[in-house]
């Protein structure tokens, strides 16, 4: 396990403008570990730590809330309690590890395991408080019912907006390279997309982006685009592509 000084020094290298690959090669630390430290720099507590009634790590909760609103669900267990499941595509192994780390940070007393499905895995954890931590749970699809944050959730999002945006983008977003031809010359430029059928969830994202100074456009009924150079640079500094 890496000590806190090593973790901070590694993140400082990344913050100086170095690429994830170069920092990983210089330090010998895996990219997945470095990504996980961007969510939570402190070492994860032991799995049998004392339980708590609420989220034990606010930045990780903000990130997990974004993942849940995008690709999460809560299902009851026959003997009581519930399973939290976050669907993560096999193509993004780093995202799977970030999701596991976030769940463990939020509920250190819960075990986290992965269920393989076709083309994706469900990062899963059983507990008796998931419906309290995610009161947006309810019958039916998210885009067919109202989704709103509780006051205590909004306070966490306000305090850790980038963690919340990162969770939403990591679940239902992507960073792509667009291109266009002008005067016979090809130009390429990056942009972020977020796709969700729920106008409420999309509104939670765009409202947070507004507070962060990120310019966005509604591409169509289900898609939000961030394409302005300065806004993309902000997103790159705090989000970056999935891996």
Percentage with pLDDT > 90 across the chain: 59
Confidence at residue 56, expressed as pLDDT on a 0 to 100 scale: 73
Provide the pLDDT confidence category of residue 229 given band limits of 50, 70 and 90: very high
Is 34 or 194 the better-scoring residue by pLDDT?
194
Q: What is the DSSP string of 61-122?
A: HHHHHHHHHHHEEEEE-TTSSEEEEEEEETT-HHHHHHHHHHHHHH-TTS--EEEEETTEEE
Distance CA 157, CA 55 (A): 13
Asked if residue 194 lies in contact with residue 203, where contact means CB atoms within 8 angstroms, the answer is: no
* Res. 161 pLDDT band, cuts 50 70 90: very high
User: Where is pLDDT greater, at 95 or 183?
Assistant: 95
Picking from 211, 126, 120, the residue whose alpha carbon sits closest to that of residue 165 is 211
**Taking the model in full, what pTM does it have?**
0.76
Query: Which domains occur in the chain, in start order?
Result: 1-43 (no CATH), 163-238 (3.10.28.10)
Q: Does position 66 have pLDDT exceeding 50, yes or no? A: yes
Q: Answer whether 7's CB lies under 8 Å from 37's CB.
A: yes
Q: What is the pLDDT of residue 48?
A: 38
User: 141-153 pLDDT, tens per residue?
Assistant: 999 999 999 999 9
């Amino acid at each position: 396990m890496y000590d806190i000084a090593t973790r901070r020094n590694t993140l400082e290298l990344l913050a100086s403008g170095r690429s994830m690959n170069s920092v990983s090669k210089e330090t010998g630390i895996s990219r997945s570990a470095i990504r996980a430290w961007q969510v939570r720099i402190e070492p994860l507590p032991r799995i049998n730590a004392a339980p708590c009634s609420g989220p034990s790590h606010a930045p990780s909760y903000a990130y997990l809330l974004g993942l849940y609103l995008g690709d999460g669900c809560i299902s009851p267990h026959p003997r009581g309690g519930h399973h939290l499941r976050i669907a993560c595509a096999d193509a993004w192994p780093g995202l799977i590890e970030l999701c596991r780390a976030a769940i463990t940070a939020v509920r250190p007393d819960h075990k986290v395991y992965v269920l393989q499905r076709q083309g994706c895995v469900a990062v899963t954890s059983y507990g008796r408080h998931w419906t309290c931590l995610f009161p947006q749970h309810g019958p039916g699809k998210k885009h067919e019912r109202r989704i709103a944050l509780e006051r205590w959730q909004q306070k966490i999002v306000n305090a850790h907006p980038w963690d919340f945006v990162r969770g939403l983008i990591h679940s239902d977003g992507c960073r792509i390279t667009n291109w266009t031809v002008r005067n016979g010359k090809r130009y390429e430029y990056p942009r972020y997309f977020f796709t969700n059928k729920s106008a409420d969830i999309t509104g939670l994202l765009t409202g947070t982006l507004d507070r962060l100074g990120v310019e966005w456009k509604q591409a169509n009924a289900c898609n939000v685009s961030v394409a302005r150079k300065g806004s993309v640079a902000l997103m790159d500094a705090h989000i970056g592509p999935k891996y």
